[in-house]
Structure 1
């Protein structure tokens, strides 16, 4: 995730979660689905009912050697995608996509997954220039073959080189496809660096549906809108002042209109069966002075009007993606930022289980297991 007006991630002394919640909440309001995940990002449910999760990894993929077309293989690297069974068992699905880290320590690599029919696709979002990953691993859409091999389906790196956004505030050469949602035989994809909403087909065909780049909104969240088109939410540039971001609605022919304002660092969107829209704010209570953003201040909010909201859950640690599950609950991956290489989790929040804000309990994820910790990481 980028905006090169990047801000520090260290916690400020005394930073605390949103205190608007009551501790008296039902046990089923928030539960752990899986832990020990190496930088979990976007996820989805497969035809088999399991949850498939993209893992950005450990950020340790080395750059290719001079004259080489790709980085050397790393057998010890975390898997690129895992499957979570209903009993919580975590199984690697595919490995091999590069995992990189930027100058701020943000880890980027596999960022989202999605199915078209029975075919699984992975969205790759390494950071830096082509020299960071090599010619064999551009950012974009990869198909996962039955034997676990990866096949390039659509290169966004190539596409944006020829079709850049109208307003480039800083250029990530590889492009930054950040989130996607399938519809029919294609994917809607948002590029956070370029500020583009794309339609991407697995045959390599791509098109710009809307150029959202003016003002550098850093679009990082997307969900299908009832009646057609999509909702797109934005992270925004630093210092990420509270209440400055929004969700726009984009029609299939590219018409853009404001749909929900007054949000903060939106990293996830989800639509309930009744059409209610939920947003995931990665960090709140942000400050203009460093460290700017703070851990354990993320929240889930429910739209109550064009510029109003209700807090559903608070105290989340840099949440990065959110989906509505088959059971009607909200599933969330976190953290987006792990300064010490902390492993991540998927949590489940039932938005209908409590009449008050669900506050993440102290120590909720303290005992997370670490099955995919790699050598060299603590």
Structure 2
């Protein structure tokens, strides 16, 4: 795949002839990221899958699971789990707590995973599709929120809301890259941005088609293109930031409409929400198998959940005991499903 150097970056032609551009990050950022990426593989096991392993498993009723290769779960298999959140959007688990963005009253709510009891956490978020939660050694909870309507990356604590970066058009997805950086998909600018925890912003990939969901497994970045069925999910090799020729990205999944949230499950599979005939579905693939195959077509993915909810489904988040939580965007009911067979 030919790459032509240009000032500040490299243009590359993908397999579908799409032009994509990746700027080289600054030398200082590259040096720091080299350290991050050297330990990325080791950290992968402690990424989102580790987040799903935090805390004690919550007791759950016996429900139907979705073993691999079986028929997908349907609406009747979903368990309705709801709290007092009228218009939920982004959602994440930390320990036995669920943090949920409410677009209706611009508030983050804290829900108890065992009961659904809901408390107000903090006010001041316009709307966000993603939350990343972490706990400091002293027990303080940090919520990193890409506020789509405000065009900002925010740091939320019990003490208030702090703007970390404001040079964003429409931030959507967010994943940590080590302890120094975040990758942030910007749906309105068609980019993935590299954002430091102190607010420096540099474009890592552009030429995307309304990028939404974002994931990182320690070496590869996965990004959903909600504006292109033929590039529904792409993968990028992040080793490029060490000064190597950048990998221009390849298609992981093609043939799906309006792919939104991405989430790597405790089983190592990539889960994603998408639209089929106006209804919200959740599918999954083995990323390594799709890469080896040159990408997976729509008939090669595994349909895990076929709901009767309007697309898009939002808030994909795995609980500590491996259940997948989600909801109809801005719908007042939260659901969970046993998508992983023990």
Distance 1:124 1:297, change over 3 A: farther
With structure 1 as the length reference, what TM-score do the two structures score?
A: 0.55
Query: What SS does the corresponding residue of 1:208 show, helix, strand or coil?
Result: strand
Instruction: Map 1:328-347 to 2 at 5 A.
Output: 328-335=268-275, 342-347=278-283
How many residue pairs get aligned? The number is 236
* Aligned match of 2:153: 197
With structure 2 as the length reference, what TM-score do the two structures score?
A: 0.60
Unpaired runs of at least 5, structure 1: 1-18, 21-43, 51-82, 99-108, 127-137, 158-174, 237-243, 285-295
CA RMSD in angstroms, aligned pairs only: 3.4
Distance 1:329 1:307 in 2: 22
Distance 1:362 1:111 in 2: 29
Residue among 68, 79, 90 paired with 2:78: 90
Instruction: Map 1:298-377 to 2 at 5 A.
Output: 299-304=232-237, 305=240, 306=246, 308-335=248-275, 342-354=278-290, 355=292, 356-361=294-299, 368=306, 370=308
* Aligned match of 1:131: none
- Which structure carries more strand by proportion? 2
Decide whether the 8 Å contact of 2:209 with 2:225 is kept in 1: yes
Distance 1:84 1:95 in 2: 23
Query: What SS does the corresponding residue of 1:257 show, helix, strand or coil?
Result: strand
- Which structure carries more helix by proportion? 2
Query: What SS does the corresponding residue of 2:81 show, helix, strand or coil?
Result: strand
* Aligned match of 1:72: none
- Deviation sequence 1:164-219 (CA, Å, 0-9, x none): xxxxxxxxxxx222211112221110111110000112x25211111124xxx211
Residue among 185, 195, 198 paired with 1:233: 185
Unpaired runs of at least 5, structure 2: 1-14, 17-50, 68-72, 136-140, 241-245, 311-327, 332-342
Distance 1:84 1:299, change over 3 A: farther
Decide whether the 8 Å contact of 2:283 with 2:302 is kept in 1: no
Instruction: Map 1:120-269 to 2 at 5 A.
Output: 120-126=98-104, 138-145=105-112, 146-157=114-125, 175-184=126-135, 185-201=141-157, 203=158, 205-213=160-168, 217-236=169-188, 245-269=190-214
Distance 1:363 1:148, change over 3 A: closer
